[in-house]
Chains A and B, each alone.
Chain A
């Protein structure tokens, strides 16, 4: 079946502009996660959604970052007034049920964001 998809695959934007990154999780997966990975670094947790529960936003680095998940499926990560330090690969993952990591996560290919 279809895996996790993300769009766009690459995004170049000017400093100060807003960007939206999209994630389509695997159908039936109730948990959805966003991570950020800077060059040569590990994954930095940003936010996760679990069913209809309030999202865990504890990893968002600033109030310029926000995310929503409509209808329990597609999610959009929005970065307002982008800064150069926002340049990274943004990865989305989904999993069955629990957001506490009890199940393996399936990752999308990522969106490479470059802020000039």
Chain B
């Protein structure tokens, strides 16, 4: 399976600090996507990085992709209390998106 696995499972930081979450996967991919989920309900798409890209930015988010290591990282800079959520990576290839179990981020004000 090409399931993404996030690391760490949980992360607690102070407001203003940076948060880094990692994702590893097993097989070749077309792209990798990061999603955020608040309160255990619907997910919101954050960013998509294609297999031929190495880094992508969107506001306070920075995503890297290393296809040789089959890994990705999501960096949230200058975190805010509102960033408290679960973050999932999802890999896309020859099958529908496969989601990992997520990283639970808590940002303490």
Contact = CB atoms under 8 A, between A and B. Distances in A.
A104 B33 contact: yes
Interface footprint category on A:
20 to 34
Contact of A101 (B41, B90, B100): B90
Contacts of B35: 107
Interface residues of B, number: 25
B48 A89 contact: no
Interface string A90-113: 010100000111101111111000
Interface string B33-57: 1010000111111001000000000
Contacts of B102: 42
A91 B40 CA distance: 10
A100 B48 CA distance: 14
Given A89-B41, A109-B41, A110-B41, A102 B30 contact: yes
Given A33-B96, A42-B99, A48-B96, A91 B30 contact: no
A62 interface: no
Nearest to A41: B101
A43 B99 contact: yes
A71 B102 CA distance: 34
11 contacts: A42-B100, A42-B102, A43-B88, A43-B99, A56-B96, A89-B40, A101-B33, A102-B92, A104-B33, A107-B35, A107-B42
Given A42-B101, A105-B97, 13 more contacts: A33-B97, A35-B99, A41-B101, A42-B99, A43-B99, A45-B98, A45-B99, A91-B42, A101-B95, A102-B31, A104-B33, A107-B42, A109-B41
Interface of B: 30-31, 33, 35, 40-45, 48, 88, 90-102
